[in-house]
Amino acid sequence: MDKQNKHIYWNPYFGGFLLGLLIIATFYISGRGLGASGAMKSSVVSIVDNASHQYAEQSAFYSKYVDGDKSPMNTWLVYEALGVLIGAFISGGIAGRIGWRTQHSPKITRRRRLIFAILGGVLFGFGSQIARGCTSGAALSGMAVLSTGGFVTMLAIFGTAYLFAYFFRKNWI
Amino acid sequence: MGPLIPNDIIPMEWNSVIALIIGIFFGFILEASGFSSSRKLAGVFYGYDFAVLKVFFTAALVSVIGILYLDYLGYVDMSMLYVHPTYLWGAIIGGMIMGIGFVSAGFCPGTSLCAVAIGKIDAIVYVLGIMVGIFVFATFYDFFEPLYDGYNYGNITLMDSFNINPYWFVFLFTIAAVLIFAGADLIRKRVKKVFY
| B75 and B16 part of one domain | yes
| B24 and B67 part of one domain | yes
Question: In residues, how long is chain A?
Answer: 173
| Euclidean distance between CA atoms B149 and B152, whole angstroms | 7
Interface list for A 18-77 with B (CB within 8 A): 18-34, 36-37, 39-41, 43-44, 47-48, 59-62, 74, 76-77
Structural domain count of chain B: 2
- A6-51 pLDDT, tens digit each: 789 999 999 999 999 999 999 999 999 999 999 999 999 999 999 9
- B159-187 pLDDT, tens digit each: 999 999 999 999 999 999 999 999 999 99
| B110 and B140 part of one domain | yes
Task: Report the C-alpha dihedral over residues B145, B151, B154, B159, rounded to 10 degrees.
Answer: -150
For residue A1, is pLDDT > 50? no
| B78 and B96 part of one domain | no
Residue B76 touches chain A, beta carbons under 8 Å = yes
| B66 and B119 part of one domain | no
| B9 and B60 part of one domain | yes
| B89 and B77 part of one domain | no
Contact B107, B123 (CB under 8 A): yes
| B78 and B102 part of one domain | no
- B132-150 pLDDT, tens digit each: 999 999 999 999 999 999 9
Return the number of CB contacts < 8 Å for A and B.
524
Q: Do A164 and B103 touch (CB under 8 A)?
A: yes
- The residue type of B160 is D
Residue B98 touches chain A, beta carbons under 8 Å = yes
- Provide φ and ψ at B20, rounded to 5°: -60, -45
For residue A18, list chain B residues with Cβ-Cβ distance below 8 A: 29
Its domain, for residue B9, covers 1-83+165-196
Average pLDDT, rounded, for chain B: 96
Using alpha carbons, select from B127, B91, B94 the residue that is nearest to residue B109.
B127
| B27 and B119 part of one domain | no
- CA A8-B37-A169 angle, to 5 degrees, is 120
Residue B177 touches chain A, beta carbons under 8 Å = no
| B36 and B73 part of one domain | yes
| B27 and B77 part of one domain | yes
Residue B96 touches chain A, beta carbons under 8 Å = yes
Residue A70 confidence (pLDDT): 85
3-state SS record for B90-144:
HHHHHHHHHHHHHHHHCCCHHHHHHHHHCCEHHHHHHHHHHHHHHHHHHHCHHHH
| B70 and B106 part of one domain | no
